[in-house]
């Protein structure tokens, strides 16, 4: 059996445009080169992660524009047309991210950079999927001849990490993103990855993020580029570099179980730097100190709560603190998981589909796990 090939290359510290391009080219070459389908006349969709405006350009939340530029240049050298495109997270402004991160400079250089939220989206069937058998996707993802995935390495407050697989969620229209959160985010991610199936993934691990990612976590400069065609293998290697075992990352394991790729490090061929030589343990979302700042009576986290709702609640607390609104918990209780065995007070806010078992409650927030903003709205309703 052919082993999946993942390459790892390094940039110098705080690399400029040329150093990034050199590392990206080497990573792509070591991973087998650009796909053959990148040929004259082909339209190649480059999908970075433009989730949200971060604190700084180097905070590791958004794919570095230099990585996109390097890939776009390689695509253009083959006579193909690169289209750089993404949609920011739900409720966020992609154009503002494009401007803040300097992607508009790529436009000045003659490249097309699109805010997918302004582009056409269409309903499509995905009968192989259990979570979203019908989904609304941006048309560019269907009409492009091939897709190159350009995620960034970071921890995530719901899925532990966000790497190759999770990055493809940005190709869904907001209504399908919401539906995936309501039904089953973990299972939905590998299902849409199987639907889009990028031809190549190049992971930006120059500026990365640990702690309560994926936007306001703590920056970590790693100065690495990874590349490969097997997204599961790439997420396994990237996770190992971050100090995660594959079984700690549900999306990786579910994707491997669906036959989407290999999550066994022993069966993955590494080209370039050995992953062990660049390993650095990333602080998990669950290791946040925020729990020490919240009275324990304000939280009822059932023992069976998985990392999805657990980390979501932590992330909500971090955001409330940043807004100076931890007081919103003074008269409310957040509940996740199955019943604790006694009646809950009326002000309990039931978070996540597992908590539905507590019975009818007007403060139930559906989702598996729910979006952070839905919980924040329940805790701090907007003024009338
Ligand atoms: S609803 Fe249940 S299974 Fe889903 S993320 Fe929350 S605790 Fe986990």
Q: What is the pLDDT of residue 306?
A: 87
Q: Which atom of ligand 1 is nearest to the CA of 309?
A: 6
Q: With 90 as the cut, is the pLDDT of residue 131 above it? A: yes
Q: What is the pLDDT of residue 251?
A: 96
Where a domain ends, among 267, 285, 303?
285
- Taking the model in full, what pTM does it have? 0.92
Q: Is 343 exposed, middle or buried (0-12, 13-18, 19+ CB in 10 A)?
A: exposed
Q: Which atom of ligand 1 is nearest to the CA of 310?
A: 7
Judgement on whether residues 273 and 340 belong to the same structural domain of the protein: no
Rounded average pLDDT over 296-313: 87
Q: With 90 as the cut, is the pLDDT of residue 304 above it? A: no
Q: Which atom of ligand 1 is nearest to the CA of 308?
A: 5
Judgement on whether residues 307 and 351 belong to the same structural domain of the protein: yes
Q: Which of 251, 304, 336, 352 to mutate to test the pocket of ligand 1 (most atoms within 8 A of CB)?
A: 352
Q: What is the pLDDT of residue 384?
A: 59
Q: Which of 182, 285, 349, 369 to mutate to test the pocket of ligand 1 (most atoms within 8 A of CB)?
A: 369
Share of the chain above pLDDT 90, in %: 78
User: Residue 130 domain-assigned?
Assistant: yes
User: Residue 25 domain-assigned?
Assistant: yes
The CA 127 to ligand 1 mean position distance, Å, reads 24
Of the given ranges (157-171, 186-200, 333-347), which has the lowest mean pLDDT?
A: 333-347
Q: What is the pLDDT of residue 362?
A: 61
Judgement on whether residues 76 and 89 belong to the same structural domain of the protein: yes
Judgement on whether residues 21 and 113 belong to the same structural domain of the protein: yes
Judgement on whether residues 112 and 18 belong to the same structural domain of the protein: yes
Judgement on whether residues 317 and 196 belong to the same structural domain of the protein: no
Tokens of 269: 């061929």
Greater pLDDT, 227 or 303:
227
Tokens of 212: 């309560």
The closest residue, in CA terms, to atom 4 on ligand 1 is 368
Reference 287, options 155, 163, 166; nearest CA is 155
The CA 79 to ligand 1 mean position distance, Å, reads 47
DSSP label at residue 352: S
Q: What is the pLDDT of residue 381?
A: 76
Q: What is the pLDDT of residue 91?
A: 83
φ/ψ of residue 5, rounded to 5? -110, 125
Where a domain ends, among 242, 267, 285?
285
C-beta separation of 356 from 366 below 8 A: yes
Q: What is the pLDDT of residue 229?
A: 98
The bridge status of strand 333-336 relative to strand 348-351 is parallel
Judgement on whether residues 217 and 117 belong to the same structural domain of the protein: yes
User: Residue 302 domain-assigned?
Assistant: yes
Where a domain ends, among 285, 310, 341?
285
Judgement on whether residues 257 and 293 belong to the same structural domain of the protein: no
User: Residue 384 domain-assigned?
Assistant: no
Q: What is the pLDDT of residue 341?
A: 65
The closest residue, in CA terms, to atom 6 on ligand 1 is 309
Task: Find the length of the chain.
Answer: 384
User: Residue 53 domain-assigned?
Assistant: yes
The CA 350 to ligand 1 mean position distance, Å, reads 11
Q: With 60 as the cut, is the pLDDT of residue 339 above it? A: no
Judgement on whether residues 156 and 246 belong to the same structural domain of the protein: yes
Which residues approach ligand 1 with their CB closer than 6 A?
Answer: 305-306, 308-309, 336-337, 352-354, 368-369
The closest residue, in CA terms, to atom 2 on ligand 1 is 354
Q: Which atom of ligand 1 is nearest to the CA of 367?
A: 1
Tokens of 195: 């639907």
CATH number assigned to the domain comprising residue 44: 3.40.50.11440
User: Residue 106 domain-assigned?
Assistant: yes
DSSP label at residue 64: -
Q: Which of 353, 367, 372, 375 to mutate to test the pocket of ligand 1 (most atoms within 8 A of CB)?
A: 353
Tally of domains within the chain: 2
Judgement on whether residues 211 and 324 belong to the same structural domain of the protein: no
Judgement on whether residues 185 and 304 belong to the same structural domain of the protein: no
User: Residue 58 domain-assigned?
Assistant: yes
Measure the CA–CA gap between 237 and 265, rounded to whole angstroms: 7
User: Residue 310 domain-assigned?
Assistant: yes
Q: Which of 354, 356, 366 to mutate to test the pocket of ligand 1 (most atoms within 8 A of CB)?
A: 354
Judgement on whether residues 83 and 193 belong to the same structural domain of the protein: yes
Q: Which domain holds residue 75?
A: 5-285
């Amino acid at each position: 059996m052919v082993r999946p090939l993942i390459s790892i290359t390094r940039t110098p510290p705080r690399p400029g445009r040329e150093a990034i391009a050199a590392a990206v080219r080497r990573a792509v070459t070591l991973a087998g080169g650009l796909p053959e389908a990148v040929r004259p006349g082909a339209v190649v969709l480059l999908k970075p992660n433009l989730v949200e405006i971060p604190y700084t350009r180097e905070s590791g939340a958004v794919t570095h524009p230099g990585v996109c530029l390097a890939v776009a240049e390689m695509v253009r050298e083959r006579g193909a047309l690169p289209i750089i495109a993404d949609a920011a997270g739900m409720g966020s402004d992609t154009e503002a991210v494009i401007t803040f991160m300097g992607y508009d400079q790529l436009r000045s250089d003659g490249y097309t950079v699109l805010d997918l939220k302004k582009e056409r989206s269409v309903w499509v069937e995905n009968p192989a999927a259990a979570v979203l058998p019908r989904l609304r996707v941006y048309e560019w993802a269907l009409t492009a001849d091939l897709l190159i995935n350009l995620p960034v390495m970071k921890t995530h407050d719901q899925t532990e990490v966000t790497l190759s697989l999770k990055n493809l969620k940005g190709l869904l229209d907001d209504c399908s993103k919401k539906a995936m959160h309501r039904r089953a985010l973990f299972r939905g991610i590998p299902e849409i990855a199987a639907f889009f199936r990028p031809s190549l993934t190049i992971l930006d691990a120059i500026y990365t993020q640990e702690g309560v990612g994926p936007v306001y976590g703590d920056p970590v400069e790693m100065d690495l580029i990874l590349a490969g065609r097997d997204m599961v293998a790439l997420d396994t290697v990237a996770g190992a570099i971050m100090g995660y075992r594959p079984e700690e990352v549900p999306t990786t394991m579910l994707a491997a179980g669906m036959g989407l790729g290999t999550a066994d490090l022993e069966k993955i061929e590494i080209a370039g730097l050995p992953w062990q030589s660049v390993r650095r343990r990333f602080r998990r979302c669950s290791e946040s100190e925020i729990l020490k700042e919240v009275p324990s009576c304000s939280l009822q986290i059932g023992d069976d709560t998985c990392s999805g709702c657990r980390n979501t609640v932590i992330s909500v607390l971090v955001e409330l603190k940043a807004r100076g609104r931890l007081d919103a918990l003074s008269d409310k209780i957040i509940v996740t998981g199955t019943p604790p065995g006694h009646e809950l007070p009326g002000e309990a806010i039931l978070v996540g589909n597992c908590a539905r078992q507590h019975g009818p409650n007007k403060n139930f927030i559906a989702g598996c796990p729910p979006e952070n903003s839905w919980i924040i709205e329940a805790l701090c309703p907007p003024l009338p």
